[in-house]
């Protein structure tokens, strides 16, 4: 089993280009299943492997694990066994037609347009750090990139003339993402003098710098966005990912198609992007219930 797991992980790394963190998760989940099979004397590659998978998942549920965790472990097994099928190492897929745990899909938190405006208005742009913060917030909301992609941006990856950035997402997948006039203005203002002051004479390719002239870190930006959320009295949990969720939700609410949003977010699978259709449907229902006269009052029969 260990041999096949290693082959599978190598396939994910070389052929699919998945990130190291994703590979670590797959390895952990598959090794956990292998350990279960050894203890229960199941052969995960033999005739009783479907029984092994079912017994394993039921055991996970009885242990009280979160439904999302169990679903992730089933997903890892599914992908592993489908790989073995394509390599002609198995004749049937023991995970075929197995239902997930039915975990409720957690809808992503996002900000309203007014809350985004409030957040983006907080930095004091006459200060170098404030100009940087404004540029980072504007770019994050304008592109929907991940915070890791934001802080890893280099100077040569930002094209101010044509208003786009080139970033590397999960699995080192490169994509080009456009940004609008507001982000362009903030980025230009940041580069016009603030970045030089923050650099403190250091030569670095990093686009966004901290107060010591080094590349801004994820943890540093988390503290920045939390500070501005408190300052703006936004009574929600606000993280860099909240702006990513807001970006996707607002695009779909204003008519963008799902495939385009998938490309902009850098999702390998459109099923990942589809969560936002649930958000927009819920939002539309909320607007309808609030706005339609016969949705707001009880029917009396008259």
DSSP SS3 for 219: helix
- Per annotation, catalytic residue among 56, 141, 190, 276: 276
- Per annotation, catalytic residue among 11, 50, 170, 197: 170
- Per annotation, catalytic residue among 73, 132, 134, 146: 146
109 labelled catalytic: no
Sign, Cα dihedral of 51, 52, 56, 62: positive
User: DSSP letter at 95?
Assistant: T
170 labelled catalytic: yes
CB 247 within 8 Å of CB 144: yes
- Per annotation, catalytic residue among 72, 73, 132, 241: 241
- Per annotation, catalytic residue among 157, 184, 267, 283: 267
Burial 154-165 (b: 16+ CB within 10 A, else e): eeebbeeeeeeb
CA 207 to chain centre: 22
DSSP SS3 for 180: coil
Number of CB atoms found within 10 A of residue 203's CB: 6
CB 89 within 8 Å of CB 130: no
How is residue 25 written in tokens?
A: 């998760």
How is residue 5 written in tokens?
A: 């797991």
User: DSSP letter at 206?
Assistant: B
226 labelled catalytic: no
How is residue 285 written in tokens?
A: 């229902």
Closest of 131, 116, 109 to residue 232, by C-alpha: 116
- What are residue 159's DSSP bridge partners? 164
184 labelled catalytic: no
User: DSSP letter at 98?
Assistant: -
- Per annotation, catalytic residue among 132, 195, 244, 250: 244
Q: What span, in angstroms and rounded, lies between the C-alpha atoms of 222 and 189? A: 22
Closest of 143, 132, 110, 105 to residue 241, by C-alpha: 110
Catalytic residue positions, numbered: 146, 170, 241, 244, 267, 276
């Amino acid at each position: 089993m260990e041999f096949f797991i290693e082959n599978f992980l190598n396939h994910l790394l070389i052929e699919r280009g998945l990130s190291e963190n994703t590979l670590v998760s797959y390895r952990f989940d598959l090794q956990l299943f292998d350990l279960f099979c050894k203890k229960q004397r199941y052969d995960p590659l033999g005739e009783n492997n479907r029984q092994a998978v079912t017994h394993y998942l039921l055991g996970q549920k009885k242990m009280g694990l979160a439904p999302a965790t169990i679903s992730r472990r089933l997903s890892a097994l599914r992908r592993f066994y489908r790989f073995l099928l394509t390599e002609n190492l198995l004749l049937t897929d023991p995970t075929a037609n197995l239902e997930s745990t039915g975990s409720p899909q957690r809808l992503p938190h996002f900000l309203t347009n007014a809350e985004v405006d409030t957040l983006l208005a907080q930095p004091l742009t006459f200060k170098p750090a404030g100009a940087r913060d404004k540029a980072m917030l504007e770019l994050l909301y304008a592109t929907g990139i991940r915070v890791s992609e934001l802080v890893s941006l280099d100077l040569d990856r930002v094209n101010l003339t044509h208003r786009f950035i080139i970033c590397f997402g999960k699995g080192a997948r490169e994509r080009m993402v456009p940004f609008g006039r507001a982000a362009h203005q903030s980025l230009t203002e940041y580069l016009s003098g603030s970045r030089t002051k923050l650099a403190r004479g250091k030569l670095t390719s990093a686009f966004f710098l901290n107060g010591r002239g080094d590349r801004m870190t994820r943890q540093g930006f988390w503290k920045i966005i939390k500070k501005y959320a408190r300052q703006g009295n936004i009574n929600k949990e606000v993280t860099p990912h909240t702006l990513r969720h807001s970006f996707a939700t607002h695009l779909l609410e204003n008519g963008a198609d799902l495939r385009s949003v998938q490309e902009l977010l850098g999702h390998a699978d459109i099923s990942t992007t589809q969560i936002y259709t649930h958000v927009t449907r819920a939002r539309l229902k909320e607007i309808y219930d609030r706005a339609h006269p016969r949705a707001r009052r009880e029917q009396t029969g008259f």
